[in-house]
Amino acid sequence: MNQPIQPGEGAPSDNGRAPTCAVEGAVGAPVPLDGIRGAITGRANLAKHVWFKTGGPADWLFEPADLDDLVLFMERVDRSLPVMALGLGSNLIIRDGGVPGVVVRLGKAFADVALEGETQLVCGAGASGILVASSARDAGIAGLEFLRGIPGTVGGFVRMNGGAYGREVADILVDCQLLMADGDLIRVPAADLRYTYRHSALEDGAIVVSARFRGEPGDPAEIGAEMDRIAQAREASQPLRTKTGGSTFKNPEGHKAWELVDQAGFRGHRHGGAQVSEKHTNFLINTGNATSAELEELGEMIRDKVFAETGVCLEWEIQRVGRPEGAKR
């Protein structure tokens, strides 16, 4: 059964933040500000927060000071206002018309990783895969090395059942802490998420604030060597030093997405400022001046041709959110 949690239990905090709220960029705010300590920005630039470096603004961006601050905000926010969590923005296209409602960005205050027992780590939703894998290595916990190969943060991994190199979050998750749309904190066991390939049963309005991962005892040197192998494999095969968003499409059953894209003739193909990577055809690239619409249109062109030639329907792995350019606000 999902159990309510008191604000602050088992979650990172940032006691060094000033006890005042900064409101920038617009008049008014989505919640009463008394007691809110994080930064609230109206018409906030989201492009700088996502790897593609494209997309329109958020109506509101909230960067909570800590978990208590986030709970208070969610208790006060109008339930009719959409709320979306944002981590590193590594698997995301923000459409050019921006994101309605509130985007909650979980930063350093949610990036702690703590050892629990001999083989478990409690990780804030803002902790990166590299940080979690490195912390596991230092603690002699094996089985989490694959997180070194996933760009992004714990919150996204848990929601999307992130995986790489033969492992996925479903293999290591014990439970996660969720903040629901009404401000309630609950702890949810992994089984309740009903994981499938790159999918979970998490509600859209729920925000992952922390997760507990379990590995097994291991030798730090061997764990480190495996992490190095994964890092080298990524460097050799993926366009890491470009404005990209990770794997574009899920691997269909019995197929590899990159092979289908390649066979359809899209290696290096350009559409405006968007391009299919020459290095790895399941990666889209912003060559410098792409719009989000061009990236999404290129993806849809690929899907249409692959389906016409093979009958295989590629599913987007990259999340696409927000309004198209020119859409009514």
Q: DSSP string spanning 108-158?
A: GGG--EEEETTTEEEEETT-BHHHHHHHHHHTTEES-GGGGG--SBHHHHH
Q: Specify whether the CB–CB gap between 38 and 63 falls below 8 A.
A: yes
Say what the pLDDT of residue 325 is: 84
Amino acid letter, 46: L
Say what the pLDDT of residue 79 is: 86
CATH class of 239-318: alpha beta
d(CA 10, CA 5): 9
pLDDT in tens, the chain (329 residues): 344 333 333 333 344 443 446 666 545 688 888 999 999 999 999 999 999 999 999 999 999 999 999 999 999 999 889 999 999 999 999 999 999 999 999 999 999 999 999 999 999 999 999 999 999 999 999 999 999 999 899 999 999 999 999 999 999 999 999 999 888 999 999 999 999 999 999 988 899 999 999 999 999 999 999 999 999 999 999 998 899 999 999 999 999 999 999 999 999 999 999 999 999 999 999 999 999 999 999 999 999 999 999 999 999 999 999 999 876 55
109-236 CATH fold: 3.30.465
d(CA 124, CA 325): 34
Question: Of 63, 226, 296, 317, which is the active-site residue?
Answer: 317
Start and end residues for every CATH 3.30.43.10 domain found in the chain: 3-107
d(CA 302, CA 314): 9
User: DSSP assignment, residue 250?
Assistant: P
Question: Of 90, 200, 247, 292, which is the active-site residue?
Answer: 247
pTM beyond 0.85: the answer is yes
- 44: which strand partners? 58
Say what the pLDDT of residue 48 is: 96
Say what the pLDDT of residue 10 is: 39
- 215: which strand partners? none
Start and end residues for every CATH 3.30.465.10 domain found in the chain: 109-236
Question: Of 105, 137, 198, 303, which is the active-site residue?
Answer: 198
- CA distances in angstroms from 58 to 104, 121, 183, 231, 290, listed in the order given: 10, 33, 21, 33, 19
Say what the pLDDT of residue 168 is: 96
- For the question of residue 118 being annotated catalytic, the response is no
Q: Specify whether the CB–CB gap between 117 and 128 falls below 8 A.
A: no
CATH class of 3-107: alpha beta
- For the question of residue 198 being annotated catalytic, the response is yes
Start and end residues for every CATH 3.90.78.10 domain found in the chain: 239-318
Residue 53's Cβ-count burial label (10 Å; 0-12, 13-18, 19+) is middle
User: DSSP assignment, residue 41?
Assistant: E
Say what the pLDDT of residue 202 is: 94
Of the candidates 266, 295, 296, the one whose C-alpha atom is nearest the C-alpha of residue 280 is: 266
Say what the pLDDT of residue 128 is: 96
d(CA 177, CA 187): 5
- For the question of residue 270 being annotated catalytic, the response is no
Contacts of 172 (CB under 8 A, 6+ apart): 143, 144, 213, 214, 215
Say what the pLDDT of residue 151 is: 87
